[in-house]
Amino acid sequence: MAKQLGAFVVGDSDKCTGCKACELACFTVHNQKSNGVGRTVGTVSVPVMPRLFLVKGETFSVPVQCKHCEDAPCLNACTKKAISRVDNQVIIDEKKCMGCKDCMMACPFGVIMLAQVYDRGKVLRQTTGEAVKGAFKCDLCAGREAGPACVEVCPHQALRYVDPVEERKEKMRRAAETLAITKTL
Amino acid sequence: MNAFVKGNPDLCMGCRTCMVACVVSHTGRHIFELDPDDYTFNPKLHMVKTRAISVPVQCKHCENPACMAACPQKCIHMEDGTVFIDTENCIGCKACMEACPVGAIDMAPVSGVYQPDGKERYVANKCDLCREQSGGPACIRVCPTEALKLVSYEEIADTAQERRLAAAKANADGSLGAAAQAK
């Protein structure tokens, strides 16, 4: 059986201008069904909470998101088993999440956030009246036919969808051709 | 400077003995005496076959390794002329795999270690020049056509020097140089 590894999206800081189109697209896609976001600007009734993070330093900007690790610390840390692997991707079921923050502490990339859960534009509340908080992170726009929205909308092609198995094959092929060039040594 | 194992596509016949030797060297198991279903086969070098050539590809043990810079867990180290992965803290994030321009890094299961969802633990896997085994890289030792060799920086530098000398001589002797044109 061929090896299957989770895909992921990476940003290129050389191309990124920090425009945040990726963040907006991410938020829109993930709130289309549950919160009705996406028809017009006026439909946005919940805070804009993307699942990837545009990070700006003094000399660079680049979006950072989940790498869908193969030995995922978040998945291993989750005592509620709210994080699982679906089609090789690491997916959080925020309905199962109890907001313990273990996944946030475990993630070495800092790409999981805890936020209020909204349903149909309203804050979901516990029986005590407290807002329900859930863990959110990149799910590669699971179920979206065109693939991750961030990759699609970036005006500078600064985001790339990586299929690690296929990319490795191509890199090894190039390396083999290089060996044919350097064989006289 | 780090040395590395280099395959020669003119000599390689694609038999994959190097891959087998790599697994035997790193697992210590006599896989020829085992049922193929009873062991995991995760070599640290990979045979590439195209229409024109066959040659194994493995880590170049770069001097400024992109994998080492990319690792969030600080699992990749450079010591005694070898870039190697300490898989104990590896989380299988594939950052090194994505960073490596050669495609030398793979993700391999740690047999018998499972995550809460039942999937085996996967960690990064690449050539370590058989640093923990005696006798040097196993792939070099077993290749029936001697298509693999360990290349040191000194050897590359010496060859470069010889080539410069040859180029200069050709210039001085031949018709290429300005001096020759002036005659």
Q: Which two tokens stand for residue A98?
A: 């109890």
Nearest to residue B138, comparing CAs of B9, B65, B10, B31? B31
% of chain B beyond a pLDDT of 70: 95
User: Which among B163, B124, B161, B150 is positioned nearest to B2, based on CA atoms?
Assistant: B150
Q: How far apart are CA A148 and CA A127, in angstroms?
A: 35
CA distances from A80 to A133, B86, B123 (A): 14, 30, 24
Of B142, B146, B126, B149, the C-alpha closest to B21 is: B142
Same domain? For B111 and B88 the reply is yes
Q: Is pLDDT at B176 greater than 60 in this prediction?
A: no
Residues of chain B with C-beta less than 8 angstroms from the C-beta of A173: 48, 50
Q: Please give the average per-residue pLDDT across B168-177, as a whole number.
A: 73
C-alpha distances out from residue B76 to A10, B79, B85, B126, Å: 20, 10, 4, 11
End-to-end CA distance of chain A, in Å?
Answer: 37
Judge if B75 and B47 occupy the same domain.
no
Residue whose C-alpha is closest to residue B7's, from B50, B51, B49, B58: B58
* A84 chain-B contacts, CB cut-off 8 A: 117
Residues 6+ away with beta carbon under 8 Å from A170:
B103
Considering chain B, what is the average pLDDT of its residues?
Answer: 90
For B149, nearest residue in chain A (alpha carbons): A185
For the stretch A35-74, pLDDT in tens is 888 777 778 888 999 999 999 999 999 999 999 999 999 9
In a domain, B101, yes or no: yes
CB-nearest to A109 from B8, B10, B72 is: B72
Do B57 and A169 count as a contact with CB atoms less than 8 A apart?
no
Answer yes or no: is B167 within a domain: no
Q: Do A109 and B105 touch (CB under 8 A)?
A: no
Q: Is residue B77 a part of any domain in this protein?
A: yes
Backbone angles phi, psi at A44, to 5 degrees: -80, 105
Q: How many CB pairs under 8 A join A and B?
A: 114
Mean per-residue pLDDT for B167-178? 72
Closest C-alpha to A43, from A21, A23, A28, A26: A28
Average pLDDT rounded to a whole number, residues A172-184: 94
Residue B181 has pLDDT above 60, yes or no: no
Distance (Å) from the C-alpha of residue B98 to the closest C-alpha of chain A? 7
Question: How many independent structural domains does chain B possess?
Answer: 2
Residue A169 predicted with pLDDT over 90: yes
* In a domain? residue B53: yes
- The per-residue pLDDT for range B64-109, each reduced to its tens digit, is 999 999 999 999 999 999 999 999 999 999 999 999 999 999 999 9
Q: What is the dihedral of CA A164, A165, A171, A175, to 10 degrees?
A: 140
Q: Which domain holds residue B98?
A: 60-126
Asked if the structure places residue B72 within a domain, the reply is yes
Confidence of residue B177 (pLDDT cuts 50, 70, 90): low
Model pTM greater than 0.90?
Answer: no
User: By C-alpha distance, which of A144, A137, A155 is closest to A22?
Assistant: A155
CB contact under 8 A, B57 and A176: yes
Considering the domain boundaries, does residue B25 fall inside one? yes
Domain-located, residue B67: yes
Contact A133/A114 with Cβ under 8 angstroms? yes
CB < 8 Å to B93, chain A = 67, 69-70, 108-109
CATH number of the domain within which B32 lies? 3.30.70.20
CA atoms within 13 A on the CB side of A136: 20
| Position A1 pLDDT exceeds 70 | no
Q: Express each pLDDT in B15-48 by its tens digit.
A: 999 999 999 999 888 887 888 787 888 999 999 9
Residues B10 and B94 in one domain: no
User: Are B118 and B74 within one domain?
Assistant: yes
* Residues of B with Cβ-Cβ distance to A107 under 8 angstroms: none
Q: Are residues B21 and B106 in the same domain?
A: no
Domain match, B53 and B65 both: no
Does B50 sit within 8 Å of A177, measured CB to CB? yes
Q: Could you read off the pLDDT of A127-168 as tens digits, one per residue?
A: 888 899 999 999 999 999 999 999 999 999 999 999 999 999
C-beta separation of A98 from A130 below 8 A: no
B122 occurs within a structural domain: yes
Check residue A128 and give its pLDDT. Answer: 87
How many other C-beta atoms can be found within 10 angstroms of the C-beta atom of residue B146?
Answer: 10
- Pick from B94, B103, B156: CB nearest A67: B94
In this structure, the answer to whether residues B72 and B104 fall within a common structural domain is: yes
Partner-chain residue, chosen from B7, B103, B121, that has the shortest CB–CB distance to A71: B121
The answer on B118 and B135 residing in a single domain is no
Answer yes or no: do B19 and B109 share one domain: no
Residues of B with CB under 8 A from a CB of A: 6-10, 46, 48, 50, 52-53, 55, 57, 72-73, 90-95, 97-98, 100-107, 115-117, 119, 121-123, 151, 155-156, 159
Chain A residues closer than 8 Å to B107 by CB: 3, 5, 70, 164
Residue of B nearest to A4 (CA): B107
Collect all residues of chain B within an 8 Å Cβ-Cβ radius of residue A170. 103
In A6-121, the DSSP E strands lie at 8-11, 53-56, 61-64, 83-86, 89-92, 113-116, 118-119
State which residue of chain A sits closest to B37, comparing Cα positions: A1
